[in-house]
Amino acid sequence: MNTIFLSVMIYLFIFSQGNELVKYAGSLKGIMKGNDISSKINLNDIKNKKNLYALGAAENLEGEIQIFNGEPFNSEVVNRKLVIKNDFQKGTALLVYANVKDWNEYKIDEVITDLNLLQQKIELICKTENINSEKPFPFLIKGSAENLSWHVVSSNSQKVLQTHEEHKSSGLSGELKNEAVEIIGFYSNKHQGIITHHSTVAGHIDELKLKKNFKLYFSNIHNKK
């Protein structure tokens, strides 16, 4: 079974402030209202690309932006087909990013049936490790996904995309079953939602079920309370 590389960002509103670990550009509120989808930062403008992890939306909502350990996986829909570009020549309407070299490992010996349970598990570790989960931080997941559904946004200049369903139906969607996955994400308990990527599929996660005995990693630079 080939490992599929995915990325995840949990969000509801764009982070109100960055910190020493996580930085951002753009506003999710502006994107959802459809009135602020211009480029806020070009990927080439990020000076330190070593150990870089990033997630976001391309300018004009023409695809998804993902960078996994310094390697970009940027998706867009061209003639109803998914195209992945592995370069930094891209403007972003929204970007959240961090440079992470080392991770702390936590083994999860239970099934995660949906995104809410994943959030609960992350919160439990934050409580145990005395991590301030109100500030965003990066995490990794390595394991096997029983089911994962995704979509990639593709903006239509004649229609403003305002709801999740409009974003989902604007582009492409698909489903993965029983695949080994490696997931990178950003989390804060004030934010929720999912974005995914790998070398042949890049998009926004709508549903996710993880098999037990997967591994969850937090950056070793935490937001200690």
pLDDT tens profile 63-107: 888 888 999 988 888 888 888 889 999 999 888 899 999 999 999
Q: Calculate the average pLDDT of the chain.
A: 77
The DSSP code sequence of 171-215 is SEEEEEEEEEEEEEEEE-TT-----EE-SS-EEEEEEEEEPSSEE
The DSSP code sequence of 135-180 is S-EEEEEEEEEEEEEEEE---BTTB---SHHHHHHHSEEEEEEEEE
**Across the strands, what pairs with 159?**
156
- The answer to whether residue 5 sits within a structural domain is no
pLDDT tens profile 159-195: 554 455 555 556 677 888 998 877 778 887 765 443 4
Identify whether residues 210 and 158 lie together within a single domain: yes
Alpha carbon separation from 156 to 77, 161, 201 (Å, rounded):
11, 8, 21
Identify whether residues 214 and 136 lie together within a single domain: yes
pTM of the model: 0.80
**Across the strands, what pairs with 3?**
180
- The answer to whether residue 54 sits within a structural domain is yes
CA angle 206, 64, 168 (to 5 degrees): 40
Domain boundary pick from 68, 99, 130 = 99
Identify whether residues 125 and 178 lie together within a single domain: yes
- Number of folded domains that form the chain: 2
Classified as helix, coil or strand, 71 is strand
- The answer to whether residue 67 sits within a structural domain is yes
- The answer to whether residue 7 sits within a structural domain is no
Identify whether residues 123 and 208 lie together within a single domain: yes
Q: Are the C-beta atoms of residues 22 and 219 closer than 8 Å to each other?
A: no
- Which pair of tokens denotes residue 56? 């976001």
Domain boundary pick from 77, 99, 121 = 99
Residues 6+ apart with CB under 8 A from 175: 147, 148, 149, 150
Residue ranges making up the domain that contains 200: 103-219
- The answer to whether residue 180 sits within a structural domain is yes
- The answer to whether residue 134 sits within a structural domain is yes
Identify whether residues 67 and 132 lie together within a single domain: no
Identify whether residues 118 and 210 lie together within a single domain: yes
Identify whether residues 108 and 197 lie together within a single domain: yes
Residues 6+ apart with CB under 8 A from 158: none
pLDDT tens profile 109-154: 999 998 889 888 999 999 999 888 888 888 888 889 899 887 777 7
Query: What's the pLDDT band for 222 if we cut at 50, 70, 90?
Result: low
Question: What is the enclosing helix (H) or strand (E) of 78?
Answer: strand 74-78
Identify whether residues 71 and 108 lie together within a single domain: no
Question: What is the enclosing helix (H) or strand (E) of 6?
Answer: strand 3-9
Identify whether residues 94 and 111 lie together within a single domain: no
CATH number at residue 158: 3.30.1330.80
> Which range has highest mean pLDDT (15-24, 45-54, 56-65, 200-209)?
45-54
